[in-house]
Amino acid sequence: MKKAVIFGAGNIGRGFVAQLLYESGYETVFIDVNQELIRLLNERGSYEIEIIGEENYRVPVNSVRAVDGHQVEDVAAEIEGAALVATAVGGGALRYIAPTLAAGIARRSAAGIEEPLNVVLCENLYDADKIMHGYVRDALPPMLLNYADQYVAFVETVVARMVPVMEESFDNSDPLLVVVEPYKILPLDAAAWKGDYPHIEGFLFCDNFIAYVERKLFIHNAGHALSAYEGYLRGYRFIYEAVEDEDICRRVQGALREARLALEKKHGLDRLGLQENINDLLRRFGSRKLRDTVLRVGRDPRRKLASMDRLVGAARMAEECGISPHYIAGGIAAALCFAHPSDPSAVALQQEIADKGAGAVLESLCLIKSGEPLYGMIMEHYEELKGRSS
């Protein structure tokens, strides 16, 4: 049985990547620092995933164990014998696992291993491959840089499976249980992979990978976020409530049409395929059984309003392709109004708007200058929304 090492035993690590590996005949070794998760995984050697779809059912994930991420030598020993490594820790944590990954690479070099090690980055982070490559190079001694360049690859992915918060409507009696939607395709950057492509359930090796990245960011992520921000303004708790609102659905579809037209023009993507993707996403967003919340999807609006992220990035892409981002601008305005008291980022954003004004936030956070057409469109929508809510 081949062995895979996954940094991160959270929702994506347990609820997505490990399922694909188990179904493909791999043993999975999780690396985590949560002592309770480590204990339970080692005691049981398995756990269950609940698939929420037209019918709910559970699937087992067997052949698993866990190692404490603080035990660097133990983790390095696991990496030495691994067929592949994956990360699902969140972009901000990559820097902290890089020295441990470097220690594993050092052991592989000392053992004379010439089989490529592909590090599959399941992170919602643009340029995760370049970022992680830099962290690992910084952690390696100079004498191992050539070995790493020759035998180690950092492979970006597009993670699109939705994993909701385990709120009170789900069975919370088992701390290892993860609730997920049925979708389980993981696109990977084919050009970055070293060696032969493995036969792993759900792995989709893509040549034009940047098109998949931007489709995920500007269709999936943007549509999800817009549903949340528009839903918040209507007082909805769940994403399915927002999607079922005809006016919100019209606005979200309008924004996704603008993004679709831009993706067609920029990447030459098939119009019918893109529209089928949009229709499928709206169906998935509207899952009542998944019960995904407006708070989970909309949280951290400051990050989601960054100049290259899902909203402003989509608007800029549309502008570059000669498409007026009217509906996307409305979604950006709705994001500026997201004031959920349970989200520290939303609270901080509202304080900044109160102190400096929405226009100043557009300039400093979104890098949209006063006088630009996009600035005017957003501010017009924003004043309308503020007037409606006052």
How many distinct structural domains can be found in the chain?
A: 2
**Are 154 and 271 part of one and the same domain?**
no
Residues 49, 193: one domain? yes
Per the DSSP assignment, residues forming a β-bridge with 51 are 57, 180
pLDDT at 167: 59
Task: Tell me how crowded residue 310 is: count the other CB atoms within 10 A of its CB.
Answer: 27
Three-class SS state of 114? coil
User: Which CATH number goes with the domain that contains 226?
Assistant: 1.10.1040.10
Q: Are residues 250 and 370 in the same domain?
A: yes
158 lies in the same domain as 256: no
Summarize pLDDT for 310-327 with one digit per residue, the tens.
999 999 999 999 999 999
Closest CA to 87 of 33, 154, 139: 154
Mapped onto helix, strand or coil, the DSSP state of residue 180 is: strand
Q: Are residues 193 and 295 in the same domain?
A: no
Q: What is the pLDDT of residues 84-141, one digit of tens each?
A: 999 999 988 999 999 999 999 999 999 999 999 999 999 988 789 999 999 999 999 9
> Over the stretch 219-251, which tens digit does the pLDDT of each residue have?
999 999 999 999 999 999 999 999 999 999 999
The predicted pLDDT at position 247 comes to 96
Average pLDDT for 26-31: 98
DSSP SS3 for 276: helix
**pLDDT tens digits for range 252-295:** 999 999 999 999 999 998 899 999 999 999 999 999 988 899 99
The pLDDT confidence band at residue 182, using thresholds 50, 70 and 90, is: very high
* Cα 134 from chain centroid (whole Å): 20
Q: Kindly state the tokens that stand for 113.
A: 């291993």
Torsion, CA 172, CA 177, CA 182, CA 186, rounded to 10: 130
244 and 166 both lie in a single domain: no
Range of the domain at 263: 210-389
pLDDT of 260: 97
Residues 215 and 203 reside in one and the same domain = no
Where among 192, 207, 222 does a domain terminate?
A: 207
Distance CA 69, CA 200 (A): 25
Which of these three, 184, 207, 230, is where a domain ends? 207
pTM, two decimals, is 0.87
Say what the pLDDT of residue 389 is. 56
Q: Which residues, at least 6 apart from 290, have a Cβ–Cβ distance to it below 8 Å?
A: 52, 162, 164, 179, 181, 240, 284
pLDDT surpassing 80 at residue 388? no
